[in-house]
Amino acid sequence: MSSPLNIGMIGYGFMGRAHSNAYRQVSQFFSLKHKPVLKACCARKEDKIKAFAENWGYESYETDWRKLIARKDIDVIDIGSPNNTHKEIVLAAAKAGKMILCEKPLAMNVAEGEEMCDAVEKAGVANMVWFNYRRVPAISLAKQVVDEGRIGRPFHYRALYLQDWTIAADVPQGGAALWRLDVDVAGSGVTGDLLAHSIDTAEWLNGPIQRVSAATETFVKERVHAETGKVQKVGIDDACMFMAFFKNGSMGTFESTRYARGRKNFNTFELNGEAGSIYFDLEDPQYLQYFKYADPKTGAKIESHLTGWQKIHVTNGEHPYMKHWWVPGCTIGYEHTFTNALADFLESLETGKPVQPNFRTALQTQKVCDAVLASAKSGQWVEVG
């Protein structure tokens, strides 16, 4: 028997749209007991949230998230608002016994994240952080390849996350459209925004990061603040590079910037091991590249004249998530990663097995981000707590 799950969505922006799309699609493509109902959405501007509710088919709207949380007819609070709002909403939602889906980064810093983890665990409410890239089928396949032992002893992990939208010095900081440039709202720049994704994927595939050495740069030191109209110091990191050692002994390099001219959302990683390598590029998201050097079971080397990178089109029914979508050869896209993540969350309610990444796992990513920023400040290697 199916069971309705009433959603309370906070935010109508980029993620408000991505999540709402997932709520509308998931029950049609995945056969699950819990069926999301678009009960209410919430944001401060009434005209905007009313139009959003009408467009996506929400039954009602609120202009104060406290009212949304107080509603008895809401089961899940979904947080798609800027980073500085996450903690307060989570603490109130957990207290009210709501399930919580929160956007990344979990928090502004580790101290906030710890409070949030304690709150959801004390309340015993289901929780997940939307690190949606795990649900790109090719990245899920990468995880399968690693778990099957096909990489062997890992040596190197290499991640890039590049954009170019803040190069112009006259882009303001702050306000509804540019809160990512305001450190008081975002917490950090590319480290929390982009590298959080790279770190989550890296730790999922290659295990915990133990210590880091980082450098950050803020290329444009002052910008007009959209809310005050005044020229103010920029407090975020525009670019960040860090070296890492993983607990398994492998080395990592991570680079992120919003100043890579021509790069829009260039998110790649490569893992090199003794028995093989994998490579992924979000601009070619339906492919996983795999280099097989040796058979994982027998250790036998591949005949050298036949070695080479395989470009695997991740669209077969046996590939992660793909049996729920189209026939082999037909691709899915960015929006489906949210639907796949949501399906995993709904399935976890049925099985009782907590979905990943939950708040506790996302806190680990937050710890790496904080260690990266501390290292950039001190110029020293920093152990991840």
Ligand X SMILES: NC(=O)c1ccc[n+]([C@@H]2O[C@H](COP(=O)([O-])OP(=O)(O)OC[C@H]3O[C@@H](n4cnc5c(N)ncnc54)[C@H](O)[C@@H]3O)[C@@H](O)[C@H]2O)c1
Bond into 320 cis (ω within 30): no
**Closest CB to ligand X among residues 81, 340:** 81
Pairing of strands 287-292, 231-233: unpaired
**Among residues 23, 58, 61, 130, which is the contact residue for ligand X, using CB under 6 A?**
130
Nearest-CB residue to ligand X? 13
Under the criterion CB under 6 A, does residue 65 sit at the interface with ligand X? Answer: yes
Identify whether the C-beta of residue 95 lies closer than 8 Å to the C-beta of residue 123. yes
Using the contact rule CB under 6 A, the part of the chain among 13-21, 30-38, 289-297, 348-356 near ligand X is: 13-21
Exactly one of 20, 27, 85, 140 binds ligand X (CB under 6 A); that residue is: 85
DSSP E strand stretches across 88-142: 99-102, 127-129
Minimum distance of ligand X from residue 379's CB (angstroms): 28
Q: Does 44 bind ligand X (CB under 6 A)?
A: yes
Residue positions counted in the chain = 385
Min dist CB 234 to ligand X, Å, is 18
Range in contact with ligand X (rule: CB under 6 A) among 76-84, 158-166, 294-302, 344-352 = 76-84
Q: Does 43 bind ligand X (CB under 6 A)?
A: yes
- Report whether 156 contacts 291 (CB < 8 A): no
Query: How many positions of this chain bind ligand X (CB under 6 A)?
Result: 21
Residue 340 is a binding residue for ligand X (CB under 6 A): no
> Residue 207 — φ and ψ, nearest 5°?
85, 180
Residue 309 binding ligand X, by CB under 6 A:
no
Q: Which range in 77-85, 206-214, 280-288, 306-314 contacts ligand X by CB under 6 A?
A: 77-85
* Residue 292 CB contacts under 8 Å (≥ 6 apart), including other chains: 150, 275, 276, 302, 307, 310
Residue 187 sits in the site that holds ligand X (CB under 6 A): no
Q: Which two tokens stand for residue 43?
A: 């944001």
* CB 359 within 8 Å of CB 116: yes
Find out whether 326 and 338 touch, Cβ atoms under 8 Å: no
Binds ligand X by CB under 6 A, chosen from 14, 165, 309, 326: 14
In this complex, which beta carbon is closest to ligand X, that of residue 15 or of residue 342? 15
> With respect to ligand X, which residue has the nearer C-beta, 42 or 145?
42
198: contact with ligand X by CB under 6 A? no
Identify the CA nearest to 163 among candidates 240, 95, 216. Answer: 240
**Of the candidate residues 8, 11, 252, 320, the single one contacting ligand X (CB under 6 A):** 11
3-class SS letters over 218-261: CCCCEEEECCCCCEEECCCCCEEEEEEEECCCCEEEEEEECCCC
Q: 370: which residues sit within 8 A by CB, 6+ positions away?
A: 109, 110, 385
Q: How far is the CB of 43 from ligand X (least distance, A)?
A: 4
Instruction: List interacting residues with ligand X (CB under 6 A).
Output: 10-16, 42-44, 65, 80-83, 85, 103-104, 130, 132, 193
